Amino acid sequence: MNVNQATFLKATSKLFGVDFVPKIPESSKNEAGEPSLDSVEQSHALHCKHCTTQHGYTNIVFGCGNPHADIMFIGEAPGEEEDKQGEPFVGAAGQKLNEIISAMKLTRDDVYIANIIKVRPENNRTPREDEIALCAPYLVKQIECIQPKVIVALGSPASKFLLQTSVGITRLRGNWGWFDSIPVMPTYHPAYLLRNYTTETRKEVWSDIQQVLKKVQALGKTSQV
Ligand code: URA
């Protein structure tokens, strides 16, 4: 964890009255003292103060895709289908995300997909800030492991968390922000796009995605499997 992330976690902890940082066993860190994605997943399953205290879900949906991806998509929380299958974005919103990924001439195996909350909230409600404060430190660790070139924040909760802002997605989308030193492009959530399937919203999302592709190209790294 670098200084910015440590400060960020401390600030988040203070903000929501939470006093912890994720526990990653020393034995599962690499030579540089950084945790592996597997160890973050195990640590989350054992210690997440949000997910380990919830009921009524089937699977923890940690994330999927290329652990060396240039592009990381971050959504809100698993829905019914994701809970059943244990994989993010496999329901209707997932089909739309798949279309976006194919339009980028990529596959789900080229990118990494995760959520800010890793178990399904009851009745598919939007995660609360206190829940995000408890679970998202593991997402921060995930980001640290993957080190994507660019993050695409899908919808309001992911954008607000990553950019530490209360500004709504309509104003945020299309404008670069930063998470630590990683550029973040906020855009509409695919579920919002499905509910508001207009020429305007489609154009906006595609324009955001084109900015992402240009940024990755400018940063000049190719994904390795
Ligand atoms: N919506 C999300 O935000 N994430 C999922 O994994 C599925 C639907």
> pLDDT category, 1, cuts 50, 70, 90?
very low
Which residues constitute the domain of residue 75? 3-218
Task: Choose which residue among 72, 80, 89, 112 to substitute to test ligand 1 binding: the one with the highest number of ligand atoms within 8 A of its C-beta.
Answer: 89
Work out which ligand 1 atom sits closest to the CA atom of 75. Answer: 3
Between strands 71-75 and 150-154, the pairing is parallel
Q: Could you tell me if 29 and 36 are in contact, meaning their C-beta atoms sit under 8 angstroms apart? A: yes
**4 band by pLDDT with thresholds 50, 70 and 90:** very low
193 in any annotated domain: yes
Domain-located, residue 223: no
Helix and strand numbers (H, E) in the chain are 9, 6
Least confident of 6-15, 172-181, 212-221: 6-15
Number of domain units in the chain = 1
Tell whether the model's pLDDT for residue 5 goes beyond 90.
Answer: no
Residues across the chain:
225
What gap in Å lies between CA 148 and CA 134, rounded to an integer?
23
Two structure tokens written together for 173: 């989308």
The pLDDT value recorded for residue 34 is 74
Residue 148 domain-assigned (yes or no): yes
How do residues 120-162 score in pLDDT, each as one tens digit? 998 889 999 999 999 999 999 999 999 999 999 999 999 999 9
- Burial class of residue 157 (count of CB atoms within 10 Å of its CB; 0-12, 13-18, 19+): buried
**Which is more confident, 21 or 115?**
115
| C-beta of residue 157 within 8 angstroms of C-beta of residue 127 | yes
Tell me how far the alpha carbon of residue 93 lies from the centroid of ligand 1, in angstroms: 7
Q: Is residue 72 part of a domain?
A: yes
Which pLDDT belongs to residue 134? 97
Q: Is residue 43 part of a domain?
A: yes
Q: What is the mean pLDDT of residues 193-221?
A: 96
Average pLDDT of the segment spanning 167-179: 98
CATH number at residue 85: 3.40.470.10
124 inside domain = yes
- pLDDT at residue 175 greater than cutoff 90: yes
Tell me whether residue 161 is in a domain: yes
**pLDDT above 70 for 29:** no
**Ligand 1 cavity residues, CB under 6 Å:** 75-79, 82, 88-89, 91, 93-94, 115, 191
Centroid of ligand 1 to alpha carbon of 26 (angstroms): 31
- Structure confidence at residue 171 (pLDDT): 98
Tell me the best of 72, 76, 90, 116 to mutate to test the pocket of ligand 1, counting ligand atoms within 8 Å of each CB and taking the most. 76
How remote is the CA of residue 32 from the centroid of ligand 1, in Å? 33
Summary mean pLDDT of the chain: 89
CA–CA distance, 142 with 106 (Å, rounded to integer): 21
In a domain, 175, yes or no: yes
